[in-house]
């Protein structure tokens, strides 16, 4: 495989052009639900997921901002190369006395950790948000939009819980909520039962990005994901962001929220890296990979500095958010985002 293919595949949806999208999406697709029932199912699914996520992870629902101060450092840049920039605008506040350079959030990842402190969350307590964002630089396809809706969650943890076993336990709890939601929606809307579209498996298959590369060394990462999902229809891929054996990360990740640098040990004793990962499933409607969630243990003072050094972004340490982590003023945490439209697209058997 050409090196250029791997470089091009480090970010983005994995469909190279709109012409390719046109060829890939099903032409004989018909919705199993009417427009009215679709809206009813969306509302029912959202309520079920929010209630059961809060119960499973001990979270409380909180409101989340749409706009943040550009200079606070809490907005999300999504990757490490600065190619996905936020929508910005100027607010002339108090007749020009306190002007604000504002940004529309791209995600609430860093804001949530600040909110844990503001809400005085103790280890084992956390928050869940119904987040809306704008990502103007996204390549748009059947499951990527410039308008983003996510359940963004964050849980305060102890230093001893910053490990792979704790991450895995949280992932399993989230997966159970998603699986239970499917069961609930199939009961409430039996027209969703269709032999063409098998139900989600009871359990996820867990695999490290390094092992996925070793399994399919000649494939770019999105094709590796496609291949593993044809064998195991629901997977969690650990260790996204660290440079793998081929010299490239599975995908570029920003250096200031997920911890992708911490060393871990595989079951057979090999050194690995990363306390984060993604839930991906096989979508039987679109016949493609379908990412549902990205999550991870968050950086501490040490790993933030390490990751910023690796990415050449140590200047971020001047920002208030990053200073708060370095000075240990923010809680240790684990958190993630679950795509609302993506989850419901999958569970309601939608092609777009």
Which sequence positions are flagged as catalytic? Answer: 76, 135, 150, 278, 291, 294
The whole-angstrom separation of Cα 23 and Cα 3 is 25
The whole-angstrom separation of Cα 152 and Cα 128 is 6
SS3 letters across the chain: CCHHHHHHCCCCCCCCCHHHHHHHCCCCCCCCCCHHHHHHHHHHHHHHHHHHHHHHHCEEEECCCCEEEHHHCCCCCCCCCCCCCCCEEEECHHHHCCCEEEEECCCCHHHHHHHHHHCCCCCCCEEEEEEEEECCCCCCECCECCEEEEEEEEEECCHHHCCHHHHHHHHHHHHHHHHHHHHHHHHHCHHHCCCCCCCCCCCCEEEEHHHHHHHCCCCCHHHHHHHHHHHCCEEEEECCCCECCCCCECCCCCCCCECCCCEEECCCCCEEECCEEEEEEEECCCCEEEEEEEEEEECCHHHHHHHHHHHCCHHHHHCHHHHHHHCCCCCCEEEEEEEHHHHHHHHCCCCC
294 half-sphere exposure, CB direction, 13 A CA radius: 19
Is residue 49 within 8 Å of residue 57, measured between CB atoms? no
Residue 219, C-beta contacts closer than 8 angstroms, at least 6 positions apart:
1, 227
Q: Alpha-carbon Rg of the chain, whole angstroms?
A: 20
198 half-sphere exposure, CB direction, 13 A CA radius: 10
């Amino acid at each position: 495989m050409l090196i250029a293919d791997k470089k091009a595949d480090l970010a983005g949806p994995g469909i190279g052009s709109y012409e390719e999208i046109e060829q890939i999406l099903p032409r004989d697709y018909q919705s199993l639900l009417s427009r009215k029932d679709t809206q009813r199912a969306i509302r029912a699914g959202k309520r079920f997921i929010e209630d059961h996520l809060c119960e499973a992870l001990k979270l409380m629902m909180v409101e989340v901002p749409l706009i943040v101060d550009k200079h606070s450092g809490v907005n999300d840049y999504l990757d490490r190369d600065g190619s996905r920039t936020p929508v910005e605008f100027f607010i002339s506040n108090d007749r020009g006395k306190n002007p604000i350079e504002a940004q529309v959030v791209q995600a609430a990842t860093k804001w949530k950790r600040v909110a844990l402190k503001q809400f005085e969350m103790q280890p084992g307590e956390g928050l869940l948000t119904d987040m809306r964002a704008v990502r103007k630089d996204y390549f748009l396809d059947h499951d990527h939009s410039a308008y983003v809706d996510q359940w963004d969650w964050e849980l305060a943890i102890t230093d001893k819980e910053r490990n792979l076993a704790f991450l895995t336990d949280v992932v399993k709890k989230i997966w159970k909520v998603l699986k239970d939601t499917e069961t609930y929606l199939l009961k409430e809307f039996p027209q969703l039962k269709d032999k063409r579209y098998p139900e989600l498996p009871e359990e996820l298959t867990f695999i490290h990005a390094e092992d996925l590369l070793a399994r399919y060394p000649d494939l770019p990462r999105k094709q590796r994901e496609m291949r593993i999902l044809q064998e195991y229809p629901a997977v969690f891929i650990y260790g996204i962001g660290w440079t793998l054996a081929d010299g490239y990360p599975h995908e570029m990740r920003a250096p200031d929220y997920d911890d992708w640098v911490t060393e871990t040990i595989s079951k057979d004793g090999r050194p690995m890296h990363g306390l984060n990962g993604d839930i991906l499933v096989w979508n039987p409607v679109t016949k493609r990979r379908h990412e549902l969630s990205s999550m991870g243990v968050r950086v501490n003072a040490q790993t933030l500095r390490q990751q910023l050094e690796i990415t050449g972004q140590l200047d971020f340490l001047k920002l208030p958010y990053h200073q708060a982590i370095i000075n240990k003023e923010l809680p240790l945490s684990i958190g993630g985002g679950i795509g609302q439209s993506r989850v419901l697209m999958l569970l309601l058997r939608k092609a777009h």
